[in-house]
Structure 1
Amino acid sequence: MSDKYFSENLALGAEYQQLQRRFAPIFARIEEGALARDQERILPFEQVKWLDDAGFGSLRVPAEFGGAGISLETLGRLLIDLAAADSNVAHLYRSHLGFVESIRAFDPARRSEWYGRVLRGETVGNASTEKGGNVIGTLNTVITKAADGTWRLNGEKFYSTGTVFSDYTRVSVAVEGREGRSFALIPINALGVSVFDDWDGFGQKLTGTGTTVFTDVVVPDNLIFERTVGTLEAITEAAFFQYVLLAVLAGIARGARDAAAALVATRKRTFNTGSGLPFREDPLIQAEIGKIAAKAYAAEATVVATGRELDTALNEALETGDISGAHRGELAIEAGQVIVPDLVLDAAQSLFLTVGASATSTSKGLDRFWRNAQTVATHNPIAFRARSLGDYYINGTIPVGLNAIGDAKSEANQAAKPE
């Protein structure tokens, strides 16, 4: 391998280490109350503010605009650290961090404006998915021209992750008179915006993944953005959103590893069917902890390698103007999505093999690792990702990132236009 390879990776390591030292105390504070927040369903507003004040949401703003311009690999490593402390907090930043990635495709004036807003601490949530009734590729959330000449937004979104913690939410919309999908940036305190914390999932309960309703909301022209299929931004955006989820999963595995080790280290009780040794000295129990640690390591290593692949694909496309190679990032994501969920769910499940019935006590909250991992893993049907990956290696079919959810098309609605 070349000296350039080693120097570049040493630089990445130094970048992460510097930021890790900066954010580690904040992550530790966040971890202190994670169990209590999960048990009492307390949304982490205070914890999000700590991170916002420390500039966590602006780390990917390019250096030429005054940001840190860190790599995707480094961001993934930090997200793993944060998810190990509280997977809810890491997950809810997905929407904002994805928005920051999209700014790159804005026109120069708006790019400068929004990078500046992000650097000043403004954050953006998500309002993309509708609960039902929209044929895939279409939306029921629409912006229309009112009689007074203003644009008005009406509709309802679910899975609005991060919106309740943010200043704005990015809304996927259909705009009257325009083809395909667009998106609008809407202040969450605007007249006609209602945000509800009604997410009822058994895991990731504190991500603000609820309903947002828009009733005749006025939308200025400069807050409506076109969304073009086939661009670099469209290709990499889908991969980035899934990358964050993989990092969250890897962080959950690390959290399960640490919880299992801590539990065994202090346990005094044993079973007559065992060796008679304290659990911390029992070779069989040590082996179970080792297996959990290995699965956590494999998940984390996969995410780091995926981040490196995303960096390479994106940087090459930006440097050369050729976006054909950007799909390699999606391939890396799909490979990660096939393997990482199983590793993490196995690690979270194996935690219960290390102690006994006492591990199921609700006061310990050890089930949260499995619940949270399962909830994150269900964001994408793994079978679809495995099929896509196999199709590429067999037939050379370019993979398509996840960018639309809706009702399947039937004979009655085949005429519906795609995005």
Structure 2
Amino acid sequence: MTATAAQRITSAGHARRVALELADEFAVTAAERDRLRQLPHGEVERLAASGLLAVTVPAAHGGAELPPSELAEVVRTLAVADPNIAQIPHSHFVYLNLLRLAGSAEQQQRYFAQVLDGAQIANAQSERGGATVAEVATTLRPDGPGLRVDGTKYYCTGSPFAGILAVLTRLDDPEGRTGLSPGEYVAFLPASSPGVEILDDWNALGQRTTGSGTVRFDGVRVERDQLVARDAAVRAPTGYGAFAQLLHVAIDTGIARGALSAATEFVRTRSRPWFEAKVERAIDDPLVIQRIGELAVSVTAAEATLTAAGLAVDAATASADPGQDVIARASLAVAAAKILADRAATEVSSALFEVSGTRSAATEYGLDHFWRNARTHTLHDPVRWKYQHLGRALLHDTPPPLHGVL
């Protein structure tokens, strides 16, 4: 997809207003797109044209430079309406953050300008076949005067919509021909580069329209000025992982709120009361009222913890050297928020049917997409390890690790 001429977002308030307007628009057809598995090309073009994809571009490069907490609110708002659309630009913002932290001045100028004009970045990061998800087999090798990338990536969210692919690679240069330091590099490549093949083969039970399919790279030409060394951001106390995880928390929290709103609307307008309640309306059933109240507490707690985590990530990213304690607090705050968001999204999207009654399971209403989206997206990284890091921090004074997903 080519870049779309974009408006300029000028403030946090402006960003929130635009996000709400788009969310109202996207919500109308979200369930139908999910049912038919229609990729939201038009909606993503609207998102790019709105200027929201550029809200984190530094002010020195002409952007609004909104803090992570405000970006999280934008993502949460979109996720209430359609978590597929909210997830599509996740990697876009993560790799803009990589450029901010580790890109050269020339790279920042080039890519930030493209994003301000409406360009979109998608990830080509995850692989299959390794002993763990952290292993990288996609290689960056010397090839004549330049370099080449070869490999296959999976779960490449947003790839059908993007003009730029951020490709995680491992340098394979045993003779030192490139002069590059060993390690992992992200190659920022045009999606239209010869040798790139983008496949729309994502077939999960939820998040069906995120475009999270396979991308293959066969001898794709790479120039040095397209490479960013990843370690400078990921293996250092920069808040890189906390920033990325915060956006996942925002998506799950948005799903929870969307499911609760759908449940309350269905009970108000379509549900019948259980005969033993001896009431005329479902909304007057005391057990339904109780359960809706319990679900509201779960969602409100998730939203409040998202806000607190966002402020912690703001502090971790506000300066070039925030200190390891500030970084650790941000990672732990986001870990706690992720646990509550995971719990709220899966609980509320399932309980939706419990409070709404049998007719809510009819396919014509499409209410199942809330649970399927929650169940799929919360698999992104296991919350059981969040508990581990929180417990170790309290019992052993052990800071959370620096690996990009915490």
The reply to whether TM is greater than 0.5 is yes
Which residue of 2 is the match for residue 225 of structure 1? 228
1:332-343 matched pairs, under 5 angstroms:
332-343=333-344
Helix, strand or coil: the match of 2:33? helix
Q: Mean Cα displacement is larger for which, 234-243 or 196-205?
A: 234-243
The one-letter code matched in structure 2 to 1:168 is: I
Which residue of 2 is the match for residue 412 of structure 1? none
Q: Is 1:313–1:325's contact at 8 Å kept on the other side of the alignment?
A: yes
1:127-146 matched pairs, under 5 angstroms:
127-133=124-130, 138-146=135-143
Which residue of 1 is the match for residue 3 of structure 2? none
Question: Over residues 215-274 of structure 1, what are the superposed CA-to-partner deviations in whole Å (9 max), with x where a residue is unaligned?
Answer: 111111211221225768774222122111110011001111110111011126333222
Alpha-carbon distance between aligned partners in 1 of 2:387 and 2:134, rounded to the nearest angstrom: 22
Q: 2:245 aligns with which of 242, 252, 255?
A: 242
The one-letter code matched in structure 2 to 1:38 is: D
Aligned length in residues: 388
Q: Is 2:81–2:258's contact at 8 Å kept on the other side of the alignment?
A: yes
Say yes or no: does 1:254 pair with 2:257.
yes
Relative to 1, partners in 2 of residues 1:353 and 1:231: Cα closer, same or farther, differing over 3 Å?
A: closer
Relative to 1, partners in 2 of residues 1:137 and 1:179: Cα closer, same or farther, differing over 3 Å?
A: farther
Say yes or no: does 1:114 pair with 2:111.
yes
Relative to 1, partners in 2 of residues 1:126 and 1:28: Cα closer, same or farther, differing over 3 Å?
A: same
1:279-318 matched pairs, under 5 angstroms:
279-315=282-318, 317-318=319-320
Q: Is 2:392–2:398's contact at 8 Å kept on the other side of the alignment?
A: yes
Q: Is 1:138–1:181's contact at 8 Å kept on the other side of the alignment?
A: no
Q: Mean Cα displacement is larger for which, 188-197 or 235-244?
A: 235-244
Q: Is 1:60–1:70's contact at 8 Å kept on the other side of the alignment?
A: yes
Relative to 1, partners in 2 of residues 1:268 and 1:139: Cα closer, same or farther, differing over 3 Å?
A: closer
State the Cα distance separating 1:360 from its structure 2 match. Answer: 1.0
Question: Over residues 44-79 of structure 1, what are the superposed CA-to-partner deviations in whole Å (9 max), with x where a residue is unaligned?
Answer: 111011010011110011222211111211111111
Say yes or no: does 1:270 pair with 2:273.
yes
Q: Is 1:102–1:233's contact at 8 Å kept on the other side of the alignment?
A: no
Say yes or no: does 1:352 pair with 2:353.
yes
Say yes or no: does 1:179 pair with 2:182.
yes
Relative to 1, partners in 2 of residues 1:27 and 1:355: Cα closer, same or farther, differing over 3 Å?
A: closer
Which residue of 2 is the match for residue 411 of structure 1? none
Q: Is 1:239–1:401's contact at 8 Å kept on the other side of the alignment?
A: no
Which residue of 1 is the match for residue 7 of structure 2? none
Question: Over residues 386-412 of structure 1, what are the superposed CA-to-partner deviations in whole Å (9 max), with x where a residue is unaligned?
Answer: 1111111111111124448xxxxxxxx
The one-letter code matched in structure 2 to 1:330 is: S
Q: Is 2:234–2:404's contact at 8 Å kept on the other side of the alignment?
A: no
The one-letter code matched in structure 1 to 2:287 is: L
1:364-379 matched pairs, under 5 angstroms:
364-379=365-380
Q: Is 1:16–1:77's contact at 8 Å kept on the other side of the alignment?
A: no
Which residue of 2 is the match for residue 50 of structure 1? 46
Relative to 1, partners in 2 of residues 1:342 and 1:182: Cα closer, same or farther, differing over 3 Å?
A: same
Which residue of 2 is the match for residue 197 of structure 1? 200
Say yes or no: does 1:169 pair with 2:181.
no
The one-letter code matched in structure 1 to 2:382 is: P
Alpha-carbon distance between aligned partners in 1 of 2:132 and 2:275, rounded to the nearest angstrom: 60
Alpha-carbon distance between aligned partners in 1 of 2:18 and 2:32, rounded to the nearest angstrom: 25
Alpha-carbon distance between aligned partners in 1 of 2:350 and 2:394, rounded to the nearest angstrom: 32
The one-letter code matched in structure 2 to 1:93 is: P
Say yes or no: does 1:70 pair with 2:66.
yes
Alpha-carbon distance between aligned partners in 2 of 1:268 and 1:385, rounded to the nearest angstrom: 38
Alpha-carbon distance between aligned partners in 2 of 1:137 and 1:366, rounded to the nearest angstrom: 35
Q: 2:123 aligns with which of 120, 123, 126?
A: 126
The one-letter code matched in structure 1 to 2:99 is: I
1:18-33 matched pairs, under 5 angstroms:
18-33=14-29
Alpha-carbon distance between aligned partners in 2 of 1:234 and 1:196, rounded to the nearest angstrom: 35
Unaligned regions of 5+ residues in structure 2, if any? 1-9, 174-180
State the Cα distance separating 1:134 from its structure 2 match. Answer: 5.8
Relative to 1, partners in 2 of residues 1:265 and 1:402: Cα closer, same or farther, differing over 3 Å?
A: farther
Q: Is 2:315–2:322's contact at 8 Å kept on the other side of the alignment?
A: no
Which residue of 2 is the match for residue 211 of structure 1? 214
Q: Mean Cα displacement is larger for which, 245-254 or 20-29?
A: 20-29
Aligned-residue RMSD, C-alpha: 2.0
Q: Is 1:138–1:174's contact at 8 Å kept on the other side of the alignment?
A: no
The one-letter code matched in structure 2 to 1:327 is: A
Which residue of 2 is the match for residue 96 of structure 1? 92
The one-letter code matched in structure 2 to 1:276 is: V
Which residue of 1 is the match for residue 383 of structure 2? 382
State the Cα distance separating 1:136 from its structure 2 match. Answer: 6.2
Alpha-carbon distance between aligned partners in 2 of 1:393 and 1:268, rounded to the nearest angstrom: 46
Helix, strand or coil: the match of 1:332? helix
Identity of aligned residues (%): 30
